[in-house]
Structures are given as structure tokens and as C-alpha cells.
């Protein structure tokens, strides 16, 4: 049994640090959490769009195996692991996991980059709408998940790979990662620019990774007619109005590659971690902010302010 410190959302917009005693059964693993990613999904709870405080948060944990139950096989104390454990309990110094939820971190990968949960989501997103040779592909939104989606699409031989955002520093990052074109959504000639890039055809695939209704509709307006694919991959945490004819009149095929879309989350996690080890995901460019557990409040406020230069923050217990 160990004493664990954890962050709790005590009321909307307010985090506090608590303590608890935790232990494991013979079939469980005790993880000392070293890093946990800040995510807009947690932000939806923080802002009161979903859930009712008091609540615990954090679902992108990385850590070191502290102890294993006597029935556990294939996991050893001292190993660095990440995975799909401690859902909404990972902003803590310790967490409990089941062995199938874990995956070892490749030796050459920094722990703060080994965020298996969001990387698994990228595997799900990219596999939900795989480009064909010569497709025109557009990624709407160049935050953390949008840039990772872009990275997962580089090298799949699209005719164009267009990155869209409102912030020029993020568009520059997209260019560095491999976008063939970058467009600012504020440009009044945005749709005309897309037509020029696609030689009047329109986009074959759009990945919407903002969770914003205005951006979602703008992306839909770029679609070519006759079964173009639209992947609604953003987090839609608050109600909004959408004009469905932007999709229906095009005959678009809509996919929703959120976690429940995956038929095998463990396999998507494996694919993602192998891609990370091969250098597919430029995490060194994307993890921009770090906060100790005591500053989790500041971490949320920084993430939600969309401050200049912020892409991804991690909490370091």
C-alpha cells in the first residue's frame, strides 16, 4: 500500500490536490506515474461541459512499474510503461493498472513523448479514412491531435496534404512536419485557395480535428461531390449547430473515429507505439509545456487559453 497524491476537480474550473491510500490485488500492477498528458477531453470536464464535480481527471499516463501482483506475468518492476490505464484518475503520483492495458516504452523514446492514449487515437483516426494514391487530403486544425494526424498521413502519396489553422506558428509546424500546403482559415479566399490546390476537384478526404462547428462546416465545404470522406475526429464537448446540407448535398461518407470506433484498441496502441519508435510522430516539436502536479490548475488554464506557442502540455507528478 502506498500514499498517492492526486488532482481532483472540486468545482468547475478549480483543481485541488488530495491524498489517498492505494493498493493492488494479485492480478494488478502498481504504476508510479511520471507523466500524464493534458487533453481537451479533460478540459471539457474542467469547464463544466460534461460531468459533475467532484471528479478526478487525467487519462494519458506514463510511468514506471513499482510493484506487480503475484499472479501477474510479463510485467516487471522497474519497467517504463504507458497505456490505457487509470482513465480519469491519472493526474496522480500512483495508479493501478491491469497487465493487458500496458505497453512497454521503447528504450530510445523519452517518457514525456510516450503518450500511448492519444497516439492510439491517431492510429484509429488515420486508419478510419486511409488516403488512396493521388487523393487531395485536408486536415482541419493544427493543434496536437491535428498535427499528429498530419504526421500519420505524410508519405501516403496524396496529391496534396493541406493543413488548416488560424495560427501561423502552428501552420509553420505543419509545413515542417510535411504538409504540402498550409492555409489560414481566416482568409476570405480560403475556399478558392482549396479549389486552386485541387485543380477544381475539391478534397477527397477531410479530417476535422478542432471540435469547432464553424471549422467543421468550412471543412465540409471543401469536399468534392460523390462520396468524399469526412472524418469527424475532433472532441465535440459542447452543443453547437451544424448545417447538415454541407455534408448531405455532397453525398459525403462520414466516419467518427473516436475511441469507440476502434475494433481493437490494444492493436491500435501497438501500431501507434511502433510508429513512434520509427520516428513518425515528431513529439519533440509538439510537447511544449510541462507542469508539476501542484500546478495542474495552471496547466488547465494554459491549455484552454490557447496561448501562443502552446501545443501540448504534460503534468509531471
The ranges assigned to domains in the chain are 2-119+263-316, 130-256
Name the architecture of domain 2-119+263-316: Alpha-Beta Complex (3.90)
Q: Does pLDDT of 307 surpass 80?
A: no
pTM of the model: 0.95
- Residue 65 banded pLDDT, cuts 50, 70, 90: very high
If DSSP codes are grouped into helix, strand and coil, which group holds residue 158? Answer: coil
Query: Do 26 and 69 contact (CB within 8 A), yes or no?
Result: yes
Q: Where do the DSSP E strands lie in the chain?
A: 2-11, 14-22, 29-37, 55-56, 61-68, 80-83, 94-97, 102-104, 136-140, 160-165, 181-184, 205-208, 229-232, 253-255, 287-292, 312-316
- Calculate the CA 151 to chain-centre distance: 13
User: 237 pLDDT band (50/70/90 cuts)?
Assistant: confident
Phi then psi dihedrals of residue 80, to 5 deg: -85, 130
Element (H, E) at 122: helix 116-128
Q: What is the pLDDT of residues 253-300, one digit of tens each?
A: 999 999 999 999 999 999 999 999 999 999 999 999 999 999 999 999
Its CATH class, for the domain covering 130-256, is alpha beta
Q: What percentage of the chain has pLDDT greater than the value 70?
A: 100
**Residue 20 CB coordination number (10 Å):** 13
Phi, psi of 275 (to 5 degrees): -65, -40
Do 2-119+263-316 and 130-256 come out as alike in CATH topology?
no
What pLDDT, on a 0 to 100 scale, did the predictor assign at position 56? 97
Amino acid at each position: 500500500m502506498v500514499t498517492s497524491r492526486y488532482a481532483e476537480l472540486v468545482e468547475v474550473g478549480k483543481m485541488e490536490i488530495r491524498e489517498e491510500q492505494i493498493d493492488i490485488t494479485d492480478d494488478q500492477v502498481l504504476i508510479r506515474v511520471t507523466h500524464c498528458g493534458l487533453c481537451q477531453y479533460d478540459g471539457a470536464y474542467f469547464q463544466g461541459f460534461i460531468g459533475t464535480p467532484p471528479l478526478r481527471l487525467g487519462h494519458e499516463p506514463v510511468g514506471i512499474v513499482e510493484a506487480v501482483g503475484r499472479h501477474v506475468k510479463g510485467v516487471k518492476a522497474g519497467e517504463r510503461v504507458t497505456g490505457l490505464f487509470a482513465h480519469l484518475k491519472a493526474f496522480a503520483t500512483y495508479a493501478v493498472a491491469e497487465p493487458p492495458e500496458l505497453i512497454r516504452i521503447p528504450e530510445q523514446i523519452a517518457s514525456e513523448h510516450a503518450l500511448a492514449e492519444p497516439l492510439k487515437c491517431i492510429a484509429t483516426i488515420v486508419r478510419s479514412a486511409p488516403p488512396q494514391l493521388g487523393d487531395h487530403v485536408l486536415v482541419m486544425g493544427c493543434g496536437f491531435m491535428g498535427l499528429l494526424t498530419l504526421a500519420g498521413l505524410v508519405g501516403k502519396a496524396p496529391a496534396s496534404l493541406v493543413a488548416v489553422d488560424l495560427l501561423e506558428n502552428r501552420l509553420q509546424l505543419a509545413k515542417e512536419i510535411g504538409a504540402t500546403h498550409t492555409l489560414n482559415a481566416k482568409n476570405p479566399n480560403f475556399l478558392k485557395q482549396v479549389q486552386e490546390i485541387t485543380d477544381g476537384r475539391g478534397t477527397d478526404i477531410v479530417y476535422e480535428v478542432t471540435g469547432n462547428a464553424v471549422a467543421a462546416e468550412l471543412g465540409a465545404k471543401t469536399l468534392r461531390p460523390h462520396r468524399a470522406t469526412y472524418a469527424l475526429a475532433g472532441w465535440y464537448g459542447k452543443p453547437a449547430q451544424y448545417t447538415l446540407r454541407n455534408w448531405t448535398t455532397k453525398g459525403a461518407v462520414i466516419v467518427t473515429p473516436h475511441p469507440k470506433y476502434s475494433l481493437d484498441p490494444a492493436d491500435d496502441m501497438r501500431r501507434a507505439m511502433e510508429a513512434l519508435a520509427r520516428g513518425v510522430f515528431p513529439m519533440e516539436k509538439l510537447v511544449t509545456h510541462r507542469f508539476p502536479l501542484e500546478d495542474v490548475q495552471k496547466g488547465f488554464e494554459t491549455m484552454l487559453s490557447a496561448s501562443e506557442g502552446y501545443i501540448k502540455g504534460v503534468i509531471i507528478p
